[in-house]
Structure 1
Amino acid sequence: MRSDPSPSRPFMVCRDGEAVPGGLEGAVAAIGNFDGVHRGHQSLIRMALEAGRPAAVVTFEPHPRTFFRPSEPLFRITPEPVKLAILRRIGLDGAFVRRFDARLASLSAGEFVDLLAQDLKLSGVVIGHDFHFGRGREGTPALMKELCAARGLSCRIVEAVRDGAEPVSSSAIRAALEAGDVARANELLGYRWFVQGEVRHGDKRGRLLNYPTANMRLPEDCRLRYGIYAVRAAVDGRPVDGVASFGRRPTFDNGAPLLETHLFGFDGDLYGKVLDVELVGWIRGEEKFDSVEALVARMDRDSDEARQILATDRTASMIE
């Protein structure tokens, strides 16, 4: 894939009701939800990049499952801002973000392809082998190929990417993160999973323990396992190693879940800044300690283990 685009080649986002930017006219677009932008998604994107035209994705917000089953919150691996940041970093020219609502859900398969050809002005599409589209999921990959041919669009269908016997999927990555197995999640993603959020003021307890932290609230749908992780953050464009706790602080207040990141050797002010934090490795589950002294002693060991994990990890980064 391309390297990170230069500032002279901006990443363009085209939403409902907006004219297609000149730089995206005639694009070849991979189509999907792209939650996680994992290795399977990247195989579609790679094919769009190799087509010799502007390369983009067509993606949907909110996630269609949220529209169809609003009472069942979906753990989003990559909320929209993170997803777009990854797509830019991969080297795409842009993204068509379509609002998934009753109007879009009601389109027939043919009307959906008309949208691609006429409204988005695409020259071709790339889809997965199991992609379904149109009202009631009536459209199949074979039908997509037929409808595209009738409208002068190219259509490429990509087979599943597997990791051993298991197909790479967003659901498998969610399950790994819910178990705290970030190493497995990162293997399926092809890069270190990261979260993004604004650093908030806390109760400053970490400073009293000689472990100052940058505190972030993760999305309410985040079901990452509570525990301690080896992490790496991007601070003013440079990577900084650290250790983080995600959970409710049972030793103190058992409050709302927070990601509390201690950055090794960092003494700057991050309040109000948006921070990207990669989760690199699992250390242990969240625990309640009988004393502050016991907690600090365990935090010292956690920090040593985090340094060991970070020194040996070679997974690709999307934030550096």
Structure 2
Amino acid sequence: MSAGPIRRLASVSALPVELRGAVVAIGNFDGVHRGHQAVLERADEIARREGRPLVCLTFEPHPRTVFRPQDPVPRLTPAPMKARLLAALGFEAVIEQPFSRDFAGLSADSFLGDILVGGLGLTHVVVGFDFHYGARRAGTPALLREAGARLGFGVTCVEAFTDEGGETVSSSRIRAHLSAGEVAEAAGLLGYRWTVEAEVTGGQRLGRTLGYPTANMRLHEEATLGHGIYAVRFRRADGRLHDGVASYGRRPTFDNGAPLFETHLFDFSGDLYGETAEVSLFGFLRPEEKFDGAEALVRQMDRDAEAARALLAAVRPLSALDGTIAFALGRDAATS
């Protein structure tokens, strides 16, 4: 219901008294994709209708990573970006409940009594069709409805969301697209342009010597993105937007080093070091490749910049959420 800054709470126990009695959406929501948005927007509708606070309960780290630490889930939206997206969807607070094996061992009844009723004091819970809770996933949507009737809170289970081709939208499909560099296809499932957030750090300044200075960012260690060249939009900490072209990869022409995300901002000069910025990916231009020297690389970079400018000149918001994330639009402007 609120359009202001979202509160990020470290656990259910940190919920302030004024947010008790909320409508609560529960889930991992990694990616906050169109399927998740169906759940989140239903919660928003109920909160508006009933005049209740709107809160999201999610879990950190991703539960699958806790049980398989040797194979962590590649995160589409680390906690800060997830909170940004939830804020854009109108949530007043997100509870980033620590997830551990002990927490996973709570019985279904303890989850209901200690977390939902005692901890949150919620009036309505909204979940996806496949939501399970408690040890060994013993709690099912049917049991949740029964508990709600018994304990005095409403329950809404949202059916699976399918895309225009009839396939269920899922985080795993989006990860597969991003790993292949298919950012436009990923955006179709997300409902907004996939966006990364990181601090701008110093580098070897190779781009500056080539006439293409870049803002360098090291992506989250779990990030999944195919190496290549992308048309992007760069959002500074103060909200100002700049179109640009970005390279993600190991710089095979020079050092073949650790993966680095390097963005050249069009028509910009200034110092970005130390800023935490967001970069939204609009289109894949070409794979990363090795060139026979700097001159050949610069000629290709000229072509890349021209292609990125042309692509970005024609883009429009995919949704209200996309308007707030990748464009200089509020939700109302994006939907008008």
TM normalised by structure 2 equals: 0.91
Q: Which runs of 5+ in 1 are unaligned?
A: none
| 8 Å Cα contact 2:125-2:156 kept in structure 1 | yes
- Offset of residue 134 of structure 1: 1.0
Higher helix share: 2
1:251 equivalent to 2:253? Answer: yes
> What is the rounded CA distance, in whole Å, between the counterparts of 2:229 and 2:191 in structure 1?
22
Q: CA RMSD in A?
A: 1.3
> Which residue is 1:218 aligned to?
219
> Which residue is 2:274 aligned to?
272
| 8 Å Cα contact 2:26-2:56 kept in structure 1 | yes
> Which residue is 1:16 aligned to?
11
| 8 Å Cα contact 1:20-1:121 kept in structure 2 | no
SS at match of 1:294: helix
Amino acid at match of 2:139: G
> Which residue is 1:60 aligned to?
59
Q: Which runs of 5+ in 2 are unaligned?
A: 329-336
- Offset of residue 16 of structure 1: 2.5
SS at match of 1:240: strand
| 8 Å Cα contact 1:177-1:225 kept in structure 2 | yes
> Which residue is 2:3 aligned to?
5
SS at match of 2:292: coil
Amino acid at match of 1:15: A
Give a deviation string over 1:66-120, Cα, whole Å, max 9, x none.
0111110211000011111111121111112211112210111111111111111
| 8 Å Cα contact 1:226-1:245 kept in structure 2 | yes
| 8 Å Cα contact 1:14-1:21 kept in structure 2 | no
- Offset of residue 179 of structure 1: 0.7
> Which residue is 2:264 aligned to?
262
> What is the rounded CA distance, in whole Å, between the counterparts of 2:14 and 2:231 in structure 1?
44
> What is the rounded CA distance, in whole Å, between the counterparts of 2:96 and 2:199 in structure 1?
24
Alignment of structure 1 residues 82-231 onto 2, 5 Å? 82-114=81-113, 115-163=115-163, 164-231=165-232
Amino acid at match of 1:74: V
Amino acid at match of 1:257: P
- Offset of residue 19 of structure 1: 3.6
> Which residue is 1:35 aligned to?
30
- Offset of residue 207 of structure 1: 0.8
Q: How many aligned residue pairs are there? A: 315
> Which residue is 2:331 aligned to?
none
Give a deviation string over 1:167-226, Cα, whole Å, max 9, x none.
111111101100100001111111111000110111111111000000000012222000
> What is the rounded CA distance, in whole Å, between the counterparts of 1:207 and 1:169 in structure 2?
40
> What is the rounded CA distance, in whole Å, between the counterparts of 1:250 and 1:96 in structure 2?
42
Query: Sequence identity of aligned pairs in percent?
Result: 54
| 8 Å Cα contact 2:41-2:89 kept in structure 1 | no
- Offset of residue 13 of structure 1: 2.5
SS at match of 2:201: coil
SS at match of 2:258: coil
- Offset of residue 160 of structure 1: 1.0
SS at match of 2:282: strand
Q: 1:90 to 1:17 in 2, by over 3 A?
A: closer
Give a deviation string over 1:216-269, Cα, whole Å, max 9, x none.
000122220000000001123121100000000000000010000000001011
Farther-moved stretch of structure 1 (307-316 vs 190-199)? 307-316
Amino acid at match of 2:309: R
SS at match of 2:15: coil
> What is the rounded CA distance, in whole Å, between the counterparts of 2:289 and 2:159 in structure 1?
43
> Which residue is 1:75 aligned to?
74
> What is the rounded CA distance, in whole Å, between the counterparts of 1:23 and 1:224 in structure 2?
40
> What is the rounded CA distance, in whole Å, between the counterparts of 1:167 and 1:17 in structure 2?
31
| 8 Å Cα contact 2:231-2:282 kept in structure 1 | yes
Farther-moved stretch of structure 1 (200-209 vs 12-21)? 12-21
> What is the rounded CA distance, in whole Å, between the counterparts of 1:222 and 1:63 in structure 2?
13
Farther-moved stretch of structure 1 (14-23 vs 188-197)? 14-23
Alignment of structure 1 residues 235-250 onto 2, 5 Å? 235=236, 236-250=238-252
> What is the rounded CA distance, in whole Å, between the counterparts of 1:237 and 1:167 in structure 2?
34
Farther-moved stretch of structure 1 (114-123 vs 308-317)? 308-317
> What is the rounded CA distance, in whole Å, between the counterparts of 1:120 and 1:97 in structure 2?
13
| 8 Å Cα contact 2:252-2:290 kept in structure 1 | yes
| 8 Å Cα contact 1:113-1:148 kept in structure 2 | no
| 8 Å Cα contact 1:12-1:21 kept in structure 2 | no
| 8 Å Cα contact 2:76-2:224 kept in structure 1 | no
| 8 Å Cα contact 2:179-2:225 kept in structure 1 | yes
SS at match of 2:85: helix
> What is the rounded CA distance, in whole Å, between the counterparts of 2:17 and 2:152 in structure 1?
20
> What is the rounded CA distance, in whole Å, between the counterparts of 1:35 and 1:144 in structure 2?
22
- Offset of residue 17 of structure 1: 6.6
